[in-house]
Structure 1
Amino acid sequence: MRTPPPEVRASWPTPNYIDPVTRGPSLIIVEIVGLTAALLCLGLRLYVRAFLMRNTGLDDWIMIVAMVFSVALTIAACLAYKMYGWDRHVYDLLPAQMIQGRQISLAIQAIFVLASSLAKISIVVSYLRLALVNSWFRKLCHGSIWLIILSNGSMFVVLWTQCIPISDYWNIFKLNSNCIPESPPLLTQAIMTVFTDFLVWALPLWTLYQAKLPLNQRIALIILFSFGLFVCIAGCVRTYWIHFIIDKTYDPTWQGFHLWIWTAIEVHLGVICGCVPWLKSLINYKKGSSDPTELSHGYVKSGGTATIGGTGAARGPKSGSGGGHSKSRSRHDGIDSKWLGDASSLEGDEIDMDSFTGGKRTSSTHPIAPNLTNDTSK
């Protein structure tokens, strides 16, 4: 928070603590709408994965934790907006509100780091379903996960050690506070967030570009990845407002309205993007099959239970023309037991290409597409 010089203070009007000008309920509306949409998408995703596919994975559980932090961020932002003066000019704040606002600002920054990073990690873990063991795509996914963990972990540490003691962060009236400049770590964190947003968005593009897909499925992919691009754009706008609030204005609560709007959009849209691919299976199931275990990718679950890491029974083909042969996936195709679970949990887990291609299974010359071997059992 920049300390306004005397000439700026002299230009401010008389403080209005009774009936100040406010931003209205806009931020709360955005937060509630975004949170509701994210919760709905996550609920539908879990319904597909747990009840239709009966095959939850590590990515689902990570996304659930990300959603918990998204809920916490929404609650904290709404409280700050209504109770701690985030909806009004800084000169209309009581000193106690300024201190409380700084406290909850620090908490929201920490929650954002956790919610954003976990949502991205969940998405990248889901990409591992597309990757064969030892493929370059898989190595890139692993590298991306570690980059997200290390960059956000380091920023989390800096966030809580930028002032020693940390109470100096919110005790803005204390003389000679022991804090590092606020701008460099915040801008670094914002830029790294945008970089990893683009990285997660771009990782599967080349993989899916090489797949031989019909036009309608290519269009579906464009729409799907447009959501991810919106997250990147939201991150860019959020970065601009961080710079503006820290370096350009002396009225952070009034101008911070824009920052918190784009923070909400980025967090909630990140969860939504991680859940949307799985919703296609639900749509196709509602359109066609009455078998609750039959999914859009053309395989049916023949029994067994699922646990974290992909445990489940082998899948057989839909009935119909096809000579009665079944296709089953080799135990280790596309799954790295060191990452997703032990070898005993890999049986029957499969790559769900159709969640990324929009419906019916298509032949693919994709270099990392799943290998399917013929099984003569009926």
Structure 2
Amino acid sequence: MLNGRSEAIVTATSVFLALSLVTVGLRCFVRARIVRAFGRDDWTMVAAMALNLGFAICTLVGCSYGMGQKMKDILPHPGYNRRALLCWWLGQVFYIITCVVAKMSIIISLLRITISRAHILILYAAMGLTLAVGLLFFFFTIFECKPVDYFWNRSTTKPGSCIDTDILIAIAYTYSVGAAVADFTIGILPIFIIWSLRMNARTKMAIAGILGIGCIASAAVIVRIPFIHSYKDPEFFYATYQISIWSNVEAGLGITAGSLTTLRPLVRFLRDGSSASRSHQRQPGSFPLSGNMPMPKGLSRRSKPEEGGEDSRRLWTGMADDEYQGVTTTVITGSHPTKRGESEESLTV
């Protein structure tokens, strides 16, 4: 039973679920295969993706039972209203945990490269705010009704009661404002963190831009706020379709933004793979230096580039200590002026 607003919910959910799945999959490939440094932030983001998958499934199944529809279209189908309410309730639980865990992953990543004590305190404050408003909304959502299952069984003769809807709306507003503040913090602060690292300006601008995508997730939270009042609308499923859409957008964008920050090494990996054939074509009078070929006498290997600490180098360039020996530098003999080679350029891109 998909039509009208149900179709809009399904479309938005499917698009942002696919986007987050692709970026998390690429993140896992980069961190496990290229960088070989799968850390706590990566495991946390994988957990967030699993939770987001549960959220999306609840939304999609709920739409098949009437989410986004008017009651006159749902009531003729026995059991649909109950199942749609159950999917809504489960989806909100998954949504809250997904967003909190995704923010935790991003904050853990930033703490790994943060040097300034002030920046560290700000990140911990953002973490505390996220946990506080998340737990508040989480427990109010779960225990909105007494007994808990009365939320989706209220249309039956089963006895029970729910808290005043105005209280839940106030809690939802509190959560949304807190989430927006935390998102803006972890979206803007990286610009100042990256600028203190020893990287060239082009790299800093690229990384800061990617990290700033986190601000888009906060925009989704803000867009969602005006629709919170629809919780008390008699046509609950029909009126709250915007909440369903923007909740999925927020979760998907948060995971995508957090994963995009780890994909720079993938660009290097793909570029090096595409230029591998060219690297085997030696120019006359040139000597390729790598860990796989003997080094001519009198020539020394280039030292590792310094771009901040080891953690920041691995995070943004994707080159671990034992991978530098695979870098190929070509030395041209003769009287021509020395030019910067392609492989040297790749160290700083």
TM-score band w.r.t. shorter chain: 0.7 to 0.9
* CA spacing shift, 1:326–1:217, aligned 2, 3 Å: closer
Q: Deviations over 1:138-176 (max 9, x none)?
A: 232233223322331232222222222112322334698
Which of the residues 40, 47, 50 maps onto 1:68? 50
Partner of 1:203, secondary structure, is helix
> Hey, what's the Cα distance between the residues in 1 that align with 2:17 and 2:216?
16
Whether the 8 Å CA contact 1:238–1:263 is kept in 2: the answer is yes
Task: Classify 1:120/1:96 alpha carbon distance in 2 versus 1 (closer, same or farther; 3 Å).
Answer: same
Per residue, is there more helix in 1 or in 2? 2
Summarize deviations over 1:112-153 as a string: whole Å, max 9, x none.
011100000000000012113x72222322332233223312
Contact 1:67 1:271 in 2 (8 A): yes
Instruction: Report the 3-state secondary structure (helix = DSSP H, G, I; strand = E; otherwise coil) of the residue aligned with 1:88.
Output: coil
The residue correspondences of 1:348-367 to structure 2 (distance < 5 A) are 349-352=311-314, 354=316, 361=348
Q: Percent identity?
A: 21
1:32 deviation in Å?
Answer: 1.8
Aligned mates of 2:38, 2:179 — CA distance in 1? 28
Distance 1:176 1:187, change over 3 A: farther
Residues 88-99 of structure 1 mapped to structure 2, 5 A cutoff: 88-94=69-75, 96-99=79-82
Is 1:114 matched with 2:100?
no
Counterpart for residue 7 of structure 1: none
2:192 to 197, 200, 206: 206
TM-score (norm 2): 0.73
Write out per-residue CA displacement over residues 179-232 of structure 1, whole angstroms, 9 at most, x where no aligned residue.
222322222222222222222223323323556876644653464245222211
Aligned 1:77-88 pairs, distance under 5 A:
77-82=59-64, 84-88=65-69
Map 1:177-188 onto structure 2 (within 5 A).
177-182=160-165, 183-188=169-174
Q: Aligned pair in 2 of structure 1 residues 179, 24: CA closer, same or farther (>3 Å)? A: closer
Looking at structure 2, the residues matched to 178 and 225 of structure 1 have their Cα atoms a distance apart, in angstroms, of 44
Equivalents in 1 of 2:46, 2:239: separation in Å?
Answer: 32
Counterpart mapping for 1:342-353 below 5 A:
349-352=311-314
Please name the residue that 2:182 is paired with. 196
Question: Could you say which residue in structure 2 is the equivalent of 1:3?
Answer: none
Aligned partner of 2:245: which letter? Answer: I
The alignment covers a number of residue pairs equal to 294
Secondary structure in structure 1 of the residue aligned to 2:27: helix
The 8 Å contact of residues 278 and 355 in structure 1, kept in 2 or not, is answered as no
Which residue type is aligned with residue 189 of structure 2?
L
SS in 2 for 1:35: helix
| C-alpha spacing 1:226/1:207, structure 2 compared with 1 (3 Å) | closer
112, 115, 126: which is aligned to 2:109? 126
Shift of 1:30: 2.1
The aligned amino acid for 2:70 is H
Residue matched to 1:273 = 257
One-letter amino acid of the structure 1 residue matched with residue 93 of structure 2: A
RMSD of aligned C-alpha atoms? Answer: 3.3
- Structure 2 CA distance for partners of 1:246 and 1:360, relative to 1, 3 Å: farther
Retained in 2: the 8 A contact 1:39–1:67?
Answer: yes
Q: Which amino acid aligns with 2:216?
A: F
1:37 aligned partner = 19
Q: Show structure 2 runs of 5+ residues with no match.
A: 277-290, 292-298, 319-345
**Does the aligned pair in 2 maintain the 1:354–1:360 contact within 8 Å?**
no
TM-score between both structures, scaled by the size of structure 1: 0.68
Partner secondary structure for residue 164 of structure 2: coil
